[in-house]
A and B are shown apart, each in its own frame.
Chain A
Amino acid sequence: MAKVIIYPINSLILSDLVERFGHKPLAMMEKIKDKVNTVGVDSPPLNITAEEPKKGLKYAAVEVPAGVRGRMSIVGPMIDEAEAAVIVNEASMAFGCMGCARTNELTKYLIRQKEIPILEVEYPRSEEEGKEFVYKIAEFLKSLPMESRS
C-alpha cells in the first residue's frame, strides 16, 4: 500500500479511486480532522495558530503571503510523506473553493520536484474522457507497489 498524494487535495473522486485500488490517499480532510478535533485548542475555532506560517517557512519563502505559508504547513508534510502522486490538471473546481491559486501552483511544483511516480491527467469533460481518466488512474495505481516502504 503506497501513500498517494492527490491533487486537488480534497477530491472525493481521487480519494475514492486511490482507496478503491488498495492504496492510502493523502488528502486534506484527514489533516483538517487532526486540526479541528485535537483537544487543547490554542486559537478557536480552527486551531490554526501563528505557528503554522512558521512551519510553512520550510516550503515557502518569508516574503510569500502568510496564507500560502499557513496552507503549506498542512500540505507540505503531506508532500514529504507521499510515495506517489496523482495530479489532475485544469480541474475547474480547484479554482475558487480551493482558496489559493498560488498554494496550488506551489503544491504541484513541490510534488513534481520529488522523485516519486507521478501521474498527470486532464480533467475529464466528456464520457469518453472520463473513461480515459479512470483507465489511466487505475492502471497507474495498479502499477504501484502494494507493500508500504515505511
Chain B
Amino acid sequence: MNNEEDIITKIVVISSDSVLPIDAAMKVYESENAITIKETCFGTMVTGPRAAVDRVVAELRNMDRNHIFVKERGFHPGDERRCRAVRGGGPRPGFHYLREEVQMLPMIGKALDAYDQHVPPAEIHRTDKIDVKKLKDIIESNL
C-alpha cells in the first residue's frame, strides 16, 4: 500500500460533559504534525497517515474513554463530492444518520460506565407483539 492510499479520515464524536471539541482539537495540535483536523458541531475529523491517526485517536479516546466515539469516514473533509460549501448548502449525505446516532450516545456512554463498574443490566420486560388471531378478533368485533 502506498502512502497516498494510506491517508485515512476518522470521525471523533464527543458526547462528554468534561471534554469539548476544542479540547480535542488542541490535543491533536499538540501531539502530531502529520495530520489535519476539522472541528465540527459533533466533535472533530482527523485526517492523515493511518498510523498517526490511530495514535491520535487513541489519545483522544483516553480523554474520556466511555464518552468519545470514533468511526472511519470514506470521504476526506472538504471533498467536493460531499462538502456543503460546493453543493450549495443543506446537510451532507450521511449527516442524518450520524445525528440520529449522536442522540443515542449519552445512553451508550452511561451503559459503558455501568459495564466498566460490572453493574449487570436489569431484566427488561418487553411487551409482546399482538397475536394475529387476537387482532382479527378485535377487527371483526368492531364490524
Question: Do the two shown chains form a genuine complex with each other?
Answer: yes
Interface of A toward B, CB cutoff 8 Å = 10-13, 15-16, 19, 27-33, 35-39, 45-46, 92-93, 96-98, 122, 124, 127-135, 138
Q: Please judge, given known A-B contacts A13-B69, A134-B112, whether A29 and B101 are in contact too, CB under 8 Å.
A: no
Bound state CA distance, A135 and B122, in angstroms?
Answer: 11
- The main secondary structure of chain B at its interface with chain A is mixed
Residues of chain B within 8 A of A98, CB atoms compared: 97
* Cross-chain pairs A/B with CB under 8 angstroms, 15 sampled: A11-B71, A11-B101, A12-B102, A33-B8, A33-B75, A45-B80, A93-B96, A93-B100, A97-B96, A127-B111, A130-B104, A131-B121, A131-B122, A133-B108, A135-B121
CB A37 to nearest CB in B, in angstroms, measures 7
Known: A93-B101, A128-B121, A131-B122. A30 touches B108 (CB 8 A): no
List B residues 108-137 near A (Cβ within 8 Å). Answer: 108, 110-112, 114-115, 119-122, 124, 126
Q: Which residues of B contact A (CB under 8 A)?
A: 4-5, 7-9, 11, 13, 69-76, 79-81, 94, 96-98, 100-102, 104-105, 107-108, 110-112, 114-115, 119-122, 124, 126
In the complex, the 6 A-B pairs of residues with the closest C-beta atoms, listed nearest first: A32-B74, A134-B111, A130-B107, A132-B121, A131-B121, A33-B74
Complexed CA–CA distance, A133 and B108 (Å): 9
Structural contact, A135 and B74, CB atoms closer than 8 A: no
Q: Which of B4, B69, B71, B102 contacts A29 (CB 8 A)?
A: B71
Given A39-B4, A130-B110, A135-B121, is A124 in contact with B71 using a C-beta cutoff of 8 Å?
no
Chain B residues, CB < 8 A from A13: 69, 101, 104-105, 108
When chains A and B are docked, how far (Å) is the Cα of A124 from the Cα of B124? Answer: 11
Contact of B75 among A36, A39, A132, A135 (CB under 8 A): A36
Contact B72 A30 (CB under 8 A): yes
Chain A residues with CB under 8 Å of B110's CB are 127, 130-131
B13 CB to nearest A CB, Å: 6
Residues of chain B lying within 8 A (CB to CB) of residue A135: 111, 115, 120-121
**Contact assessment for B120 and A97 in the assembled complex, using a CB-CB cutoff below 8 Å:** no
Contact A30 B74 (CB under 8 A): yes
* Among candidates B75, B97, B111, residue contacting A133 with C-beta atoms closer than 8 Å: B111
Contacting residues, chain A, for B114 (C-beta < 8 A): 131, 134
Q: Do A138 and B115 have beta carbons less than 8 Å apart? A: yes
In the bound assembly, the distance between CA atoms of A35 and B81 in angstroms comes to 13
Which of chain A's residues have a CB closer than 8 A to the CB of B71? 10-12, 15-16, 27, 29
